[in-house]
Structure 1
């Protein structure tokens, strides 16, 4: 049996950085990863997909050149092999950077293999037994494959496998109208494929307010994406030239099918029962406000704890754990203000409550909206789709939430994220003097238009 001061299971965006901090403190740490360092973000999520999004946008801009007085003769051709190799290079650079970083750390032992608990202080991997007083789980999540008629008879894609495509689908059917599915839908439409999105719910991006969901649908439809919502029945069958997707309202002749119906935590094969670690009905590991599980000495970080499924929330889990365990601080999960983005183009930046959530809270609220067509930067760039929306507490004057669907919305939202984290009231933020001409300069104007509802 090999003894360590700490064992980290999973090489995503929380565990490895915590392992590095513990090594800096002179601890002996084992980092166990079953496949690739970097987790979903580096290998199958943010980095490769946003690289693909950038290629798709380049194609879209090239096709739109004439609007800006830039004439490009001939048809815009997409070389999917180059597109794929560029995304792969970004992933490999990041992954190899992590490998090199950890290789240079005294006290860090990286082990590739599948770890399972033997008891609360012991795990086995590759036939070896390791023990430590502290064990951190950062095992991530994977795509959910729904039990739909005919699904096992077809070769379907997931968000993990689609990034390796080096040919262009004739017609891509996306099953699921949430964030991952919508990014791939627009991306492949811009590459030149026909695209259909099939969503069970009544709206796309169902987490959002209806006005945001409707605006997202308008953006995608304007680019020629076929959207089907409120679909109750879906079945698949092989056809002579691809896959038939049959719903209660349509029949789609697809060449490829992407299943984008959510993700589930990688907790079902860790031997959590042997350690006594509790999970919820969906398999997420239950944690307290400090990210500790019900078993002393075991913590769960990142996607597997159900408190955010983003790289930035996973990294913040690392920050919380490191601050509390290594720096003598007192940080809590509950103090985190939720924020995220949807990387269609234009992107959606979101923070805090939706209007629906704010109304349900019983607060007296104020709301302001402003179309991107009234933003100078958007007009100058010829990208006026979308709108801004902010929600505030009428009594405390605190900002409760905001959504910016529009050009640079994923960056502009940070001004509001920072204000909310600092506890700044909207009247104080309203007096800031932003730079012209930017999208952010409209935030004080947006706040000045807040009205009770």
Structure 2
């Protein structure tokens, strides 16, 4: 007989963990199936470890720039094993907290690989060996996604220890001689700049005509200039044609690429595959549960995050929404609002009003390059047909940025020309994510651009830029 639960989670993460704890504390018999590490991508192989390592890269960057501040530090040496260990220690701290939180809420954690064998019935191949069946009244699928692997002739023939993805690159015990990055999106740019700062030669190969294709062209161009200044080589509108072995011990392979003007052969020591991610739906046997997916494999959900199978919901990256941790956490809030009333939870906090994914119109995010790229709201391509004004200002006009010797980047905002509504905002600059969050709060509160212009911001702060930006509206 299959063990039966009130609530069953397949996969953990930023949406699933707090929701499982909420159900557990509400007295529901709750179980969670996890095949690798409790906490999901963010805690174990995503936000937490990457931003920890990026902090090490920034320390190296500032140390090398010490003379600009009148500080002599000598030669900068990188201890990659210590960088890695610091990352592991912080990941373990957050992972352990996730485990303790589930345990204290009475959630049973089952370590193994899940696959549906019927409606709301799951078979688990246990990590310790053997298998068991479980079922539940309500099921949440939160199995996430994983790095995709492009098909490039010769890729399988080189040393696979040198073929990296966003997970394995963080376990390197040494700095690559030459890291070749395939992909100019957020993952490729963050890791590319990080390892350049740690001492690697870095080349980025991007198939699109610009880096970070989501961004406005002028923002992407400014970002490109920053990375070039950091010593990174970038090939735009270029594709990897093939990979072959080479005789150099430190550069054991070569990548042939097609650029807009010619063909080039790039020697490398390591290659980072940063060409996208795919949902972990292929092993779940979703048809057995009546769960439909998109052609790309993402679970189809309605605005309440319910799948085509009644009583089965999907959280996080697996349903194909914006692949951000904060979006996954918002999934938790939506489900909690709809399925758990205040009277059935042990918390005295008032429940959020958000009950539908259609309310997520602002969609803020930050790319943790240095400087950061923070954005909220609409992009230029979304504003066609509207009467808008746009302001752009270099960070070198911000006193605080100049005083800290961090003047790289730009700020950009688009507003409704008639109502003054702030439609979109980007800050590519020091602490760009924090500046963006101020504007996001203003947008949530319905403030107009002139409200920010008239505000009394402390001098000298980065927020003070919001006094001056609007003078450039046109």
Smaller-chain TM-score range? over 0.9
The CA distance in 2 between the partners of 1:375 and 1:233, in whole Å, is 40
Instruction: Find the residue that maps to 1:441 and give its secondary structure.
Output: helix
Distance 2:116 2:194 in 1: 41
CA-to-partner distance for each residue in 1:247-299, whole Å, 9 max, x for gaps?
12321110000000011111111110101111101111111111111111011
Cα distance in 2, alignment partners of residues 283 and 327 from structure 1: 32
User: Contact conserved, 1:324 with 1:330, CA < 8 A, in 2?
Assistant: no
Select the residue among 182, 186, 201 that pairs with 2:193: 186
Q: TM-score under structure 1 normalisation?
A: 0.96
Q: Which of 279, 284, 294 is the aligned partner of 1:265?
A: 279
Alignment map for 1:6-45 (pairs within 5 Å): 6-45=7-46
Q: Deviations over 1:280-326 (max 9, x none)?
A: 01111111111111111011110001111111111111111111111
Q: Is 2:240–2:255's contact at 8 Å kept on the other side of the alignment?
A: no
| Counterpart secondary structure, 1:35 | coil
Deviation of residue 233 (structure 1)? 4.2
Q: TM (normalized to structure 2)?
A: 0.92
CA-CA distance at 1:330 after TM superposition = 5.6
Alignment of 1:11-410 (within 5 A): 11-73=12-74, 75-106=75-106, 108-126=107-125, 127-154=131-158, 155=160, 156-240=163-247, 241=249, 242-248=252-258, 249-327=263-341, 331-336=355-360, 337-359=362-384, 362-410=385-433
After superposition, give the CA deviation of every residue in 1:72-124 in whole Å (9 maximum; x if it has no partner). 13x11000000000001111111111112222233x11110111111222111
Q: Partner of 1:447 in structure 2?
A: 470
Structure 1 runs (4+) greater than 3 angstroms displaced: none
Matched residues in 2 for 1:436 and 1:22: separation? 47
Would you say the 8 A contact 1:134–1:297 is kept in 2?
A: yes
Q: What is the number of equivalent residue pairs in this alignment?
A: 447
CA offset digits 1:3-32 (Å, max 9, x no partner): 111101111111111010111111110111
Task: Confirm or deny that 1:422 pairs with 2:422.
Answer: no
1:277 and 1:121 map into 2 onto residues whose CA distance is 10
* Partner SS, residue 168 of structure 1: coil
Counterpart-to-counterpart distance in 1, 2:445 and 2:123: 44
Q: Give the root-mean-square deviation of aligned CA atoms.
A: 1.2
Moved more, 133-142 or 417-426: 417-426
SS for the counterpart of 1:320 is helix
The DSSP-based 3-state class of the residue aligned with 1:370 is strand
Which whole-Å CA distance do the structure 2 matches of 1:182 and 1:105 have between them? 39
Q: For 1:379 and 1:197, how far apart are their aligned partners in 2?
A: 29
C-alpha distance in structure 1 between counterparts of 2:293 and 2:421, whole Å: 35
Q: CA deviation at 1:64?
A: 0.4
Contact (CA 8 Å) 2:333, 2:354: kept in 1 or not?
no
